[in-house]
Amino acid sequence: MTLRKAKKWEFRLTGVGRLCENARVFILPKMCFPLRDGVREALSKNCGGAMKILKIIPEKCTGCMRCELACSYEQTGTFQPSKAVIRVSSFEGHTSYAPYTCPQCDEAWCLTACPVEAIGISPAGAKDVADDICVGCKLCTIACPYGTMFYDIDTHKAFKCDLCGGNPACASVCPTDAIVYGEADKTDWVGPFAAERAKSPAGPLAGVI
Amino acid sequence: MARHVIVGGGTAGWNAITTLRELDQGDSEIVLVADETPYSRMVLPYYLARDIAESHVYIASPPKLAALNVDARFGARAARIDASASKLILEGGDEIEYDNLLIATGSSPVKAPVPGADGENVHSFWTFPQARAVASCVGEGARVAMIGAGFIAFTILNALVNQGVKLTVVELESRILPRMIDDTGAGIVQDWLNERGVEVRTSTQLASIEDKGDAKLLKFREGSDLEVDLVIMATGIKPNIDWVAGSGLETNQGILVDAHCRTNVANIYAAGDIAEGPDAVTGDKVVHAIEPTAMQHGRVAAANMAGQEVAYKGSLLMNIVDVLDLEIASFGAWDDPDAEVFEAVRAERPAYRKLLFHGGRLTGAIILGKTREIWTTNDVGMLKGLVYTGADISEWKEHLRGNPFDVKRAFLASGAAGDLLPETVLGRPSISAHEIAVSS
């Protein structure tokens, strides 16, 4: 088991509080929100039953980027948004934002493309890469039509959203419920929001510096 | 009980087997005819790099085939097909009757037709035995000539250079990776290689290979001679199609198949490098000798063999390879002269992006940049999604004309994800091959 995998439970248990504490060192104070009500209860809840996914409600996103930080910490043990597997995009001159991550699609393009069967489905229902089998050929990165398969140049392995084993860090730290982990249809959560902004009279990227 | 006979145990054949079992849980007879024990060609470069053990290369191993209740005939070679009697005839004369036949016999490497090409220490890099032969010659200071600068050559370039090989790449055409990237991209890659000690000779035709003691002396139609210890022939591949002559199957470069991977004979299918099927962008029939197409063909053919009526959209030409941490990928009709082209070069990074449009739809793309850079590795999947779905991104065209590197928001707004989410090949969620269980 790699460090990356082992860290998950450690993080979950000692959790969000420590994330905020560490995050203060690295990020602007405005991003350190108090622990949201109910997070700890949610963390301890059993994740059995129908599949839960990450519901994204971009209208609620403030662009605080805590999801990226929590995700990168969970996935790699470092606060490095470039290694997050959830990514926030800005629209309309940084006045609106949309987080985006793997929709855990039914076709599982990454899984079927893998020539060494390194990608499986975890108990949480997430497509997950087994680091000891992945050779780093990147076929999954071109097979995935969602752009949510990533390659870590330091480990030479593919990596992706694995729903943090059933307790996704991004949803836990989101202060505005823009990312919610729950039972829902797999749908294009961000598309209509982004399309609406593209049609803005000032153009899709008005105001971007 | 239906009998499915599969000829060839590569990616297409293996995916057909797992798909059949995923759909029927063992309720059919599967016979696999394979002249070698199946392995994953895609990982041979990592074997050459000594990153993985030999055992890692075998995917469709005999125990796994047995667990899926497959009657595997290793060492057997198909000789011909009697389509009217639905019989496969093996070399040696044995016959196997079938209800459905899948031809997945792949392709073979072609060596440059020069004197000395069959000599010692001149190898193709295609089969596992060839990979072993190359691996045994590779080490610190070994002088290696790579004849051909296509995708296959580039997949093993890292393994060679990282093991201290003195490498010279020779290409007949005027640029490297001639079927994967354009002149601008090839120029950037060539500079990158030269800066890292790899000599590249383009527009250079090999004339002969002679022995010079234990070494090989290469002579060319242009330029100086080259003395090396090992010659790797990466001069193309051709479908293994000869054995189906006379079977009544329609062929061109490969065996012609429709969107069901079915040939002109209703119970004969073809998949992978040997199949010439519809292209997702153009609709034309083409041979895409790439791993993702072999996988997809295998699944689509098997679903139809199992009695589902599955038509697929076509295969998308796509390749990705990294060369000493420079990432190179292309999708779809990247060399279409009729497309509207937006491109940008950031020579100092280096980075290159080319987007090809027809109206508001992306029909091809080239992406090139350092593997470490976010803009390189993050965008490949989204470019694939846009080309594959043909989603309308008219609203973003002007933005992309100015900055072809910024595709993410265009992708998000395109609705491509919404188009893709309901789509499954088998009409249900995919499962891992590890989860397929066969009822006894």
pLDDT of residue B107: 96
Task: Report the pLDDT averaged over residues B112-127.
Answer: 96
Share of chain B above pLDDT 70, in %: 100
Summarize pLDDT for A92-136 with one digit per residue, the tens: 878 899 999 999 999 999 999 999 999 999 999 999 999 999 999
Radius of gyration of chain A (CA): 17
As given in the structure block, the two tokens for residue A54 are: 């990450």
pLDDT at A177 over 70: yes
* A203 domain-assigned: no
CA distance A197 to B8: 51
Would you say residue A130 lies in a domain? yes
Within-domain flag for A193 = no
Domain count within chain A: 1
Among candidates B318, B395, B420 on the partner chain, residue whose Cβ is nearest the Cβ of A146 = B420
Please give the model's pTM, rounded to 2 decimal places.
Answer: 0.90
Model confidence at A195: pLDDT above 80: yes
The closest CB to that of B412, out of A143, A153, A190, belongs to: A190
In a domain? residue A65: yes
pLDDT digits (tens, 9 = 90+) for A14-40: 334 444 444 333 333 333 333 334 433
Nearest residue on chain A to B50, alpha-carbon basis: A135
Q: Do B421 and A103 touch (CB under 8 A)?
A: yes
Shortest distance, CA B235 to any CA of chain A (angstroms): 22
Confidence (pLDDT) at A32: 34
Instruction: Look at residue A179 and tell me if it is in a domain.
Output: yes
The answer to the question of residue A207 being in a domain is: no
Q: How many CB pairs under 8 A join A and B?
A: 172
* pLDDT number for residue A95: 84
Q: Does A8 touch chain B (CB under 8 A)?
A: no
The candidate with the shortest Cα–Cα distance to B413, out of A203, A193, A15, A36, is A193
Domain holding A64: CATH number?
3.30.70.20
Q: What is the mean pLDDT of residues B154-163?
A: 97
Residue of A87, A103, A135 with shortest CB distance to B43: A135
Nearest residue of A to residue B12 by CA position?
A115
* Averaged pLDDT, B33-61: 93
| Token pair for B188 | 């950037």
Domains and CATH numbers, chain B: 3-108+238-315 (3.50.50.60), 122-235 (3.50.50.60), 325-417 (3.30.390.30)
Note down the domain range covering A116.
3-185
Interface contact flag, B43 A121, Cβ < 8 Å = no
Nearest chain B residue to A195 by CA distance is B413
Helical H runs in B306-378? 374-377
At A43 the pLDDT is 35
By the 8 A CB rule, do B288 and B331 touch?
Answer: no
Task: Say whether pLDDT at A42 is over 60.
Answer: no
A159 touches chain B (CB under 8 A): no
- Is A209 a member of any domain? no
Residue B46: its chain A contacts at CB < 8 A? 135-137
Is residue A191 assigned to a domain? Answer: no
Interchain pair B42, A115: CB under 8 A: yes
CA distance readout (Å), B382 to A156, B34, B349, B424: 21, 37, 22, 18
Residues of chain A contacting residue B418, judged by C-beta atoms under 8 Å apart? 187-188, 191
Distance from CA of B76 to the nearest CA of A (A): 24
Residues in A closer than 8 angstroms to B382, CB to CB, are: 145-147
Give A-chain residues touching B310 at CB under 8 angstroms. Answer: none
**In the prediction, which pLDDT does B59 show?**
87
How far B122 CA lies from chain A's nearest CA (Å)?
26
Q: Which long-range contacts (CB under 8 A, 24 or more apart) does B48-57 make?
A: B48/B125, B48/B131, B48/B134, B48/B135, B48/B138, B48/B156, B48/B159, B48/B160, B49/B158, B49/B159, B49/B162, B49/B163, B50/B135, B50/B159, B50/B163, B51/A135, B52/A135, B56/A116, B56/A133, B56/A135, B57/B128
- Which of B320, B385, B409 lies closest to A145 in CB terms? B385
Of chain A residues 63-82, which have a CB less than 8 A from chain B?
A: 82
Question: In chain A, whose CA is at the least distance from the CA of B331?
Answer: A142
Kindly determine whether residue B432 and residue A120, on different chains, have CB atoms separated by under 8 Å.
yes
